[in-house]
Each structure stands twice: as structure tokens, then as C-alpha cells.
Amino acid sequence: MYCYSYLFPVGRIWIAGCDDAITEISWSPIEGVQCEIPLIIRTARQLEEYFAGTRIDFDMPLRASGTAFRQRVWEALRTIPYAETRTYGEIARLCGFPNASRAVGGACHNNPISIIVPCHRVVGVNGLTGYAGGLDKKKFLLKLEETTQLKRAVILK
């Protein structure tokens, strides 16, 4: 596995992958050979565009390791539209496990591909809850998406 870290407006982010898929995007250092392979560079560029407000979707191949339940949750997270949020309970129901909101929280906490698999868009019934990168980063990402969406709406008018 190859990895490389980049500094973005929200802090340092590590990206890891192999020739055919991104396997991890993390707020913490990742073990691996430090090398900017083409897919990692492409991912970093897309993240730069995301932070600049010019990208709302990502299009690189992903391969996350996790249980079948976690895979299902991570797939459901990718259906949350940009600049919108869902509750842990809504994701649990979407996955077919209506009483598993705490397990959804665990899957979000263990999401290996931050931002692109947007666990930051999952909130508690009463508002913001934890985030593996820290609540400050979750707030930053949600505000970035809200601001970008508002700017896009003005441009489209």
C-alpha cells in the first residue's frame, strides 16, 4: 500500500491506496510506502477541488475493509446528497436495521475513507455528534458544503 499526506484547509489528511483503489483517507498518519502514485494524486486534486467549492462528487475507485454491516452503512452514506444530513436512525432504517442507530455510529466512527464516504453528514437527532476527525472538522465540512451550495444556488439563478 502507498500513502501520502497533504495539507488542506481543514488540516493534514493522509490518503492511502494501491494502483486500482483508494483504501483510506484519514486524519491520522497511515502506515505504508510514502509515494504519490497517480490515484493518490488524483484523489488529492479532487479533495482540493472539494475544499475550493468546485467539486461536490468524487469519482475514484474505493476499497474499504469492514464487516458486511459496515460496508452496507458506508454504501448508504454515499447516497446522502451534498450539503444535506441524515440521522443515525435514518441510515439504520435505510440499511434495513431500524434499531441499529448505535451500530451505524460505530460504522461511521470506523469509516476508513473520510470525506468521500461522507460520515460527516450523519448527525444525531438533537444535532451534531462526534466525528473521528474531531467535531471541529465535522462542523468545518458541513459549513463548507452549506456555503458552497448557497453560492451554487445564487450562480444558477
- To the query of whether residue 119 is one of the catalytic residues in this protein, the response is yes
Length of the chain: 157
Q: Read out DSSP for 16-85?
A: EEETTEEEEEESS---SEE---HHHHHHHHHHHHHHHTS-S---S-B-----HHHHHHHHHHTTSPTT--
Marked catalytic residue, from 3, 95, 108, 119: 119
Q: Around Cβ 155, how many Cβ atoms within 10 Å?
A: 7
Residue 21, beta-bridge partner list: 18
CA atoms lying within 13 Å on the CB side of residue 108: 30
Please state, in angstroms and rounded to a whole number, the distance separating the CA atoms of residues 115 and 25.
8
Positions annotated as catalytic residues are 119
